[in-house]
């Protein structure tokens, strides 16, 4: 049996051992930055596998810290993210 996580835009990623986030619904307005702690899964290291708003949301991962920066001017940023571990464990996050 396979379990998949689907994000806006139709991206599907197998959900092996889900990862979790310190925040699940992040709200960002123009030029704001926040960090989210990623945990769970297996393997070493995390990466952003999918970002539905690459033009308005900049992402980076260092260790288990996901940094999100809104590139929108004076408006809320809206995006769906899939973050995975090196072993393929994934989790979804709404911004």
pTM given for the model: 0.78
For residue 81, which of 25, 34, 43, 33 has the smallest C-alpha distance?
25
Q: What is the pLDDT of residue 29?
A: 85
CA 16 to chain centre: 16
Query: How buried is 89 (Cβ within 10 angstroms: 0-12 exposed, 13-18 middle, 19+ buried)?
Result: buried
Arithmetic mean of pLDDT, 35-48: 87
Is the Cβ–Cβ distance between 35 and 23 less than 8 Å? no
DSSP, res 67: E
Arithmetic mean of pLDDT, 34-38: 94
Is the Cβ–Cβ distance between 53 and 9 less than 8 Å? no
Give the strand order in the sheet containing 19-21: 19-21, 33-40, 65-70, 57-62
Higher-confidence position of 65 and 7: 65
- Most confident option among 11-15, 47-51, 78-82, 88-92: 47-51
């Amino acid at each position: 049996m396979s379990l998949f996580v689907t994000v806006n835009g139709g991206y599907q990623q197998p959900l092996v051992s889900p990862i979790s986030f310190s925040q699940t619904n992040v709200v960002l307005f123009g030029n704001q930055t926040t960090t989210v702690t990623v945990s769970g899964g297996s393997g070493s290291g995390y990466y952003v596998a999918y970002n539905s708003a690459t033009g308005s949301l900049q992402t980076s991962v260092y260790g288990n810290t996901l940094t999100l920066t809104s590139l929108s001017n004076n408006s809320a940023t809206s995006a769906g993210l899939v973050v995975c571990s090196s072993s393929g464990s994934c989790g979804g996050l709404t911004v």
